[in-house]
Amino acid sequence: MQRKSQTLDLVRRNPKQARAQDTVEVIFEATAQILRREGRDALNTNHIADSAGISVGTLYQYFPNKEAILVAMARRELEADHAAVMKAISEPADAEADRVRLAIRALIARFRRSREVRRIAIETLISEGYGGELATSVQKAAQMVGASSERFLPGRKEPVSPASLFVITRAISGVLRSASQEQSPLLDSAEFEDELVHLVKAYFSY
């Protein structure tokens, strides 16, 4: 899919300074509040600016439109997903720690968080022609698991092949994305976590 607009590639103003970063955070939070309270149909730049307590001119210094805001929010979600899994896999833990479960639990927690806002942001990322960034995010996860396979799958003698990593990471991401898009109550169940853990362990036990 081709990108609809090159203006969505980057925010208009790079928020490097603390004050600018704070402004972007206020814009994100105002957007999330509108989505939670009123839904996507109520979202527009004037409403966002008003809810954020800033002028619409200030908002336009950072983002050209509401779609750019949602794309930026989606990108932040993907970065946070990666960080959460990395933390679950790499942080010191008991020798008996089940790192597969810790990683799955961390991902589910990410998908539970602000699930409606996340769903809309990711849908916008795709609809605006940036769906490839989802694939890139999963590729990073596969590389991370491959690099940590001894800790992630203790006792496994055979190296984890690129094909195996591709299949299992896409399976997990697909299930989680479907649960999010379908607004499934399974995201809140212990059984859902158990089934995903079983999927990973059963796959690598052959």
Domain boundaries defined on the chain = 6-204
The pLDDT > 90 percentage for the chain reads: 56
pLDDT greater than 60 at residue 2 = no
Q: Cβ distance 34 to 47 under 8 Å?
A: yes
Q: Are 43 and 97 in contact (CB under 8 A)?
A: no
- For residues 206 and 92, the model is more confident at 92
pTM: 0.83
Read off the pLDDT of each residue in 171-199 and give the average, rounded to a whole number. Answer: 94
Q: Could you tell me which residues come within 8 angstroms of residue 97 by beta carbon, excluding any fewer than 6 positions away? A: none
Question: Cβ(102)–Cβ(89) under 8 Å?
Answer: yes
* pLDDT of amino acid 95: 60
Give residue-wise pLDDT tens across range 175-187.
999 999 898 999 9
Q: Which residues contact 55 (CB under 8 A, 6 or more apart)?
A: 49
> In the chain, where does DSSP find H-type helix?
18-38, 45-52, 56-62, 66-90, 99-112, 115-125, 132-147, 149-152, 162-181, 190-204
According to CATH, what is the number of the domain 6-204? 1.10.357.10
Q: Which residues contact 149 (CB under 8 A, 6 or more apart)?
A: 156, 159, 160
| Mean pLDDT value across residues 7-19 | 56
Q: What are phi and psi of 131, to 5 degrees?
A: -60, -25
Q: Between 116 and 96, where is the model more confident? A: 116
Task: Point out the least confidently predicted range of 13-22, 37-46, 151-160.
Answer: 13-22
Average pLDDT (7-36) is 78
Ranges 59-73, 79-93, 98-112, 134-148, most confident:
59-73
